[in-house]
Structure 1
Amino acid sequence: MKALTALWVVPVLLISATTSALVVKSSTYLVTTQTKDGKVQENRKLNPTSVKPKDLLVLTTAVQNVTQKALSNVSIVQPIPEQTQYLANSATQLDSAQLQYSADGGKTFAKEPLKKTVLVEENGKKIEKEVTIAPQQYTHVKWVLKSIQPEASQTLEVRVNVR
């Protein structure tokens, strides 16, 4: 299998807050596993230089409020790189954040399950049907953090497989 350059993996984040109030650090990890003493251990390699199909990656975003006041309704958007697919239920779940997804390149976001309307033919007639979008088709994950306290930080993660 041909190795792919991993430079594309480093995500570009969109943040709807005053950027000078936040410090954001993104990292990409290649995940490998090994069994030791009957237990599966996960190893992470930071910013791999190449990956291959079926490799597991963790896209990590650390966000820190560097101000002396709480920030509210901070949106952190994690694009899913085109050469990867999102793994269902792998985004960091937080009680203090609303988790939303996009399957249209980040134009619209909604809670799961994402739905879309498709035109199908049944009994010779074309009808519209609502179908569920598979998580593997998601293009973005968004966290809307209710609040980030002064000088507090939060780490957010998603897992993806290389196509």
Structure 2
Amino acid sequence: MNLLPLLLTLLPGAALAAAPAAPSPLKLTASTSVVTKTTKDGKTTETLTDASRVGVVPGTTLDLAQTFQNVSARELGGLKLSMPVDKAVIFQSAGCTVAGVTTLYSVDGKTFGPAPLKKTVTVTENGRQVQKQVEVKPSEYRAVRWEIPTLKAGASGRCAVRATVR
């Protein structure tokens, strides 16, 4: 826990010498790629192209990825990697290359749970208003969170969301 903000709040007149920030033990890189599938001789191949280099139009499938590496000499634990799903895209799927990861989803970007998510809706049955629990469609997901229990020293991984441009 970083106590510096608390100390600055409690000691408003105190002058603290700034210590050099420790390097992060986790190197994180985000990318957005266009997914292109081609079929040749019955085999489908997938190509990822940096989205800034090609046109993105409605119907384009995107790969929204976060790659990460533990650059420290020790194991990291309790990592939570979150990715918002913009309203300009329709969520399709999520995946992660790290063993033991738990993938959670959200419709509001604040509360997360395992799929399938549920919501309460009010419907009319036999002339009466009734509340029912129904499954949330994946297209309604607005965020994904991957909880990574441990990442060994030097280990790396990739977590990604597939989405279609509206």
TM-score (ref. length: structure 1)? 0.81
Could you say which structure has the larger radius of gyration?
A: 2
| Partner AA of 2:24 in structure 1 | S
Deviation for aligned residue 1:55: 0.5
Deviation for aligned residue 1:41: 1.9
Q: Which moved more, 1:45-54 or 1:141-150?
A: 45-54
2:114 to 111, 117, 123: 111
Whether 1:56 aligns to 2:61 is yes
Q: Structure 1 residues 158 and 19, CA, compared in 2 at 3 Å: closer, same or farther?
A: farther
Partner of 1:150: 153
> For each residue in 1:39-76, what CA deviation from the matched residue of structure 2 results, as whole angstroms up to 9, or x when unmatched?
22222111335311111111111111122211111000
Which segments of 5 or more consecutive residues in structure 2 lack a partner in the other structure? 1-21
CA distance in structure 2 between the aligned counterparts of 1:148 and 1:87, rounded to whole angstroms? 27
Q: Percent identity?
A: 35
Whether 1:130 aligns to 2:120 is no
Partner of 1:95: 99
1:38 to 37, 42, 53: 42
Q: Which moved more, 1:47-56 or 1:60-69?
A: 47-56
1:85 to 74, 87, 90: 90
Runs of 4+ in 1 over 4 A off after TM superposition: none
| Partner AA of 1:75 in structure 2 | K
Aligned residues: 144
TM-score (ref. length: structure 2)? 0.79
Whether 1:26 aligns to 2:30 is yes
Which segments of 5 or more consecutive residues in structure 1 lack a partner in the other structure? 1-17
| Partner AA of 1:61 in structure 2 | Q
Deviation for aligned residue 1:122: 1.3
Deviation for aligned residue 1:36: 2.4
CA distance in structure 2 between the aligned counterparts of 1:93 and 1:151, rounded to whole angstroms? 15
CA RMSD, 1 decimal: 1.8
Q: Helix, strand or coil for the counterpart of 2:24?
A: helix
Whether 1:69 aligns to 2:74 is yes
Deviation for aligned residue 1:144: 0.3
Q: Helix, strand or coil for the counterpart of 2:96?
A: coil
Q: Helix, strand or coil for the counterpart of 2:164?
A: strand
| Partner AA of 1:84 in structure 2 | V
Deviation for aligned residue 1:93: 6.3
8 Å Cα contact 2:96-2:157 kept in structure 1: no
